[in-house]
């Protein structure tokens, strides 16, 4: 069996990379994609732990399924809100959403 | 975990009622004309009241649903509390939504679904249920925040709230996955038992996970440095939604925070206590200082609510049965006070459409009751004697000082004085400045009645907190009995 630390290293690298993506991207759509990838890093963690910790119980697997489901719901909702902003302003860049400060 | 599941569906009746009312409201909205939209708000408020009444069946009971959801005094208290917040939010929304927003049915449906999510957060006994409930609450609030479709500020507030909220959920979840990996369970009690037996070999993963969870929850309750979404979401959202977010998202966040940290992470309190205490001090400082320079009343209350989160975090830092009760009591007092202030501002906004602090000039001449109620609410937020803010803050600060956090209590008292300054600016505008026009406001009876009830609650908690405190104590005790080591370990602290 592949040692568990490989999976953890993979998920940590993925999580850190896309966290940079969230902080550095300007477009709201790309930020959203980065957030979704963060959730996939979480799923990798859960599945790896589920297999290595307690093969008889499925807590981690079920958690991963719910994470995927909620991530899908989140995309639908977030795209609707981003679209609304795009309709009203003709831009989806977060740095141009600056009517309110301090 | 045993093999048998207690699938007693009846235990979730209050949530079913809320969901049924949510579906019903969308249907009624389809078949009603524009003049009838105001009624929807009162129907939704009725749904909240019914749900609160039904949840009283389980007073002093102790059951659980399939090892996922607790139904005990803690759950019952928060079911009634959240349904009460929903009730007042619906009443305050009725006129505003009819005049200024489209799709009234979905609006109230989302408010009720947010109450379901909040109930789940207080009732959850394992992390998956807690996470799903958290997202149900958050998703409803994202949509409500951007509900004014054609208002640029509403779009922008909703966008920022949603992106930062999703980001913080991902961070929270990564923390959950690490804690699951370190302890092998997602049940609060099982995690607590595992940690009580020592943390050898799992320290690094566990503490990374715990820090990430604190960061994620910190986003939800708007603690500094995770507060950046709060002012924009508050200012952008339609006014009743601002009132609703300020009360329910914080209360639900702290309900989960308190339960999770008591049942799971109490054995490690010496490791995270000073972390939370530092967050608390930073939150009080930033919230109260930045509030001073605000000129929009929604933004002022946003920063003041950040300040209040600082006080509430003290209760987590000083986690003990007394501090837990004090935390919940302060939360109840704060929610009642804040709702009272917001209902006054909503009534004002319904007539004038203005929300700058200088627009409140001379309100005392145009609407004496409104000005008086708003002043009472603001004095209570500042923590003046007679009102809820003083009694609850006193109990909370005392319980923190008892746990060796005297310095933090001192910081909190200092910032309470600072907060008095910016609340007094609003009161000065209302009482000492001249109004632009002398015409009196008409009196909206239902909203005035709601304000009167909330102000009554503020006085009740302020002058005679004993019965409310006993109620809160009986519910938080349930949680502390489930903490690792039970009542004795908790009492020794």
Which tens digit of pLDDT belongs to each residue from B413-439? 999 999 999 999 999 999 998 888 778
Distance from CA of A44 to the nearest CA of B (A): 9
Judged by DSSP in three states, B120 sits in helix
Q: What are phi and psi of A51, to 5 degrees?
A: -70, -40
Asked if B180's CB is within 8 angstroms of A60's CB, the reply is yes
Contact A63 B186 (CB under 8 A): yes
Interface test with A, best of B173, B215, B289 (most A CBs within 10 A): B173
Length of chain B: 493
Which has more confidence, B343 or B37? B343
A15-41 pLDDT tens trace:
999 999 999 999 999 999 999 999 999
Q: Which residues of A touch B150 (CB under 8 A)?
A: 88
Q: What is the pTM of this model?
A: 0.94
Closest CA to B389 of B370, B415, B358: B415
Q: Return d(Cα B138, Cα B144) in angstroms, integer.
A: 10
pLDDT for residue B3? 55
Say if the Cβ atoms of B162 and A77 lie within 8 Å: yes
Average pLDDT over residues A53-65: 87
Q: Tell me the shortest Cα–Cα distance from B132 to chain A, in angstroms.
A: 8
Cross-chain residue pair B231–A100, CB shorter than 8 Å: yes
Q: Domain A4-91: give its CATH code.
A: 1.10.287.3510
Token reading at B134: 């958290």
Flag whether pLDDT at B46 surpasses 70: yes
Interface test mutation site (partner B, options A12, A45, A89, max chain B beta carbons within 10 A):
A45
What pLDDT is stored for residue B453 in this prediction? 96
Quick: pLDDT tens for B219-271.
999 998 889 899 999 999 999 999 999 999 999 999 999 999 999 999 999 88
Closest CA to B153 of B342, B296, B306: B296
Q: If you average pLDDT over each of A58-62, B420-424, B479-483, which comes out highest?
A: B420-424
Domain boundaries, chain A: 4-91
Q: pLDDT tens for residues B127-149?
A: 999 999 999 999 999 999 999 98
Cβ-defined contact of A63 to B128 (cutoff 8 Å): yes
Residue-averaged pLDDT of chain A: 91
Q: What is the pLDDT of residues A65-84, one digit of tens each?
A: 999 999 999 999 999 999 99
Task: Please tell me the predicted confidence (pLDDT) of residue B292.
Answer: 93
The verdict on a CB contact (< 8 Å) between A99 and B156 is yes
Average pLDDT (B63-69) is 88
Q: Do B162 and A78 touch (CB under 8 A)?
A: yes
Average pLDDT over residues B324-351: 95
Alpha-carbon distances of A99 from A95, B154, B155, B357, rounded to whole Å: 10, 10, 11, 19
Cα–Cα dist B180/B439, whole Å: 63
CA distance linking residue B409 with residue B383, whole number of Å: 14
Chain A residues whose beta carbon lies within 8 Å of the beta carbon of residue B235: 100
Query: A73 vs chain B: nearest CA distance in angstroms?
Result: 9
Asked if residue B92 has pLDDT above 70, the reply is yes
> Which of B127, B166, B177 is nearest residue A45 as measured by Cβ atoms?
B177
Residues B111-130: tens digit of each pLDDT: 999 999 999 999 999 999 99
Q: Is the pLDDT of residue B442 over 80?
A: yes
| ipTM of the complex as predicted | 0.96
The whole-angstrom separation of Cα B10 and Cα B64 is 11
In chain A, DSSP finds a helix count (H) and a strand count (E) of 3, 0
Measured CA to CA in angstroms, residue A11 lies from A17, A60, A71 at distances of 10, 15, 17
Please name the member of A46, A53, A67 whose beta carbon is closest to the beta carbon of B184.
Answer: A53
Question: For residue B365, is the peptide bond before it cis, meaning its omega torsion is within 30 degrees of 0?
Answer: no
């Amino acid at each position: 069996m592949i040692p568990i630390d490989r999976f953890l290293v993979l998920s940590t690298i993925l999580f850190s990379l896309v966290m940079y993506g969230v902080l550095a991207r300007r477009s709201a759509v790309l930020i959203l994609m980065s957030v979704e990838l963060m959730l996939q890093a979480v799923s990798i963690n859960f599945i790896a732990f589920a297999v290595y910790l307690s093969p008889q119980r499925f807590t981690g697997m079920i958690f991963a399924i719910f994470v995927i489901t909620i991530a899908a719901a989140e995309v639908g909702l977030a795209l609707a809100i981003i679209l609304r902003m795009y309709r009203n302003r003709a831009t989806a860049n977060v740095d141009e959403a600056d009517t309110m400060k301090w | 975990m045993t093999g048998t599941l207690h699938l007693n569906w009846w235990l979730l009746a209050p949530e079913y009622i809320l969901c049924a009312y949510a579906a019903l409201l969308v249907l009624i909205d389809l078949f009603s004309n524009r003049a009838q939209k105001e009624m929807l708000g009162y129907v939704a408020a009725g749904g909240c009241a019914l749900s609160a009444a039904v949840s009283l069946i389980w007073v002093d009971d102790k059951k659980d649903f399939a090892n996922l959801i607790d139904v005990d005094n803690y759950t019952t208290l928060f079911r009634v509390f959240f349904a009460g917040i929903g009730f007042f939010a619906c009443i305050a929304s009725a006129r505003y939504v009819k005049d200024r927003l489209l799709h009234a049915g979905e609006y109230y449906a989302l408010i009720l679904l947010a109450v379901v999510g909040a109930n789940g957060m207080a009732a959850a006994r394992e992390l998956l249920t807690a996470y799903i409930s958290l997202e149900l609450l958050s998703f409803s609030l994202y949509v409500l925040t951007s509900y004014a479709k054609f208002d640029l500020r509403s779009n922008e507030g909703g966008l920022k709230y949603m992106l930062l909220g999703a980001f913080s959920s991902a961070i929270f979840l990564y923390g959950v996955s690490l804690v699951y990996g370190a302890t092998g369970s997602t049940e609060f009690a099982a995690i607590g038992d595992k940690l009580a037996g020592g943390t050898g070999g799992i320290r690094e993963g566990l503490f990374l996970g715990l820090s990430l969870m604190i960061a994620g929850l910190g986003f939800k309750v708007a603690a500094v440095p995770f507060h950046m979404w709060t002012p924009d979401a508050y200012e952008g959202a339609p006014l009743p939604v601002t009132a609703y977010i300020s009360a329910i998202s914080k209360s639900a966040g702290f309900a989960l925070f308190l339960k999770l940290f008591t049942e799971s992470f109490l054995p490690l309190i010496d490791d995270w206590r000073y972390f939370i205490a530092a967050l608390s001090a930073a939150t009080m400082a930033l919230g109260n200082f930045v509030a001073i320079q605000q000129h929009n009343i929604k933004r002022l209350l946003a920063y003041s609510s950040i300040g209040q989160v600082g006080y509430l975090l003290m209760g987590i830092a000083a986690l003990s049965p007394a501090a837990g009760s004090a935390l919940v009591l302060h939360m109840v007092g704060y929610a009642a006070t804040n709702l009272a202030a917001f209902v006054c501002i909503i009534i004002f906004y319904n007539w004038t459409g203005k929300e700058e602090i200088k627009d409140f000039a001379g309100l005392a001449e145009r609407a004496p009751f409104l000005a008086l109620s708003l002043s009472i609410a603001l004095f209570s937020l500042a923590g003046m004697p007679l009102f809820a803010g003083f009694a609850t803050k006193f109990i909370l600060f005392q319980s923190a000082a008892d746990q060796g956090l005297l310095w933090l209590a001192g910081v909190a008292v200092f910032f309470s004085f600072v907060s008095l300054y910016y609340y007094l600016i609003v009161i000065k505008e209302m009482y000492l400045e001249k109004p632009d026009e002398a015409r009196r406001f008409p009196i909206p009876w239902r909203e005035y009645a709601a304000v009167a009830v909330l102000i009554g609650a503020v006085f009740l908690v302020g002058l005679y907190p004993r019965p409310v405190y006993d109620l809160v104590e009986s519910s938080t005790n349930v949680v502390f009995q489930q903490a690792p080591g039970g009542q004795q370990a908790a009492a020794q602290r």
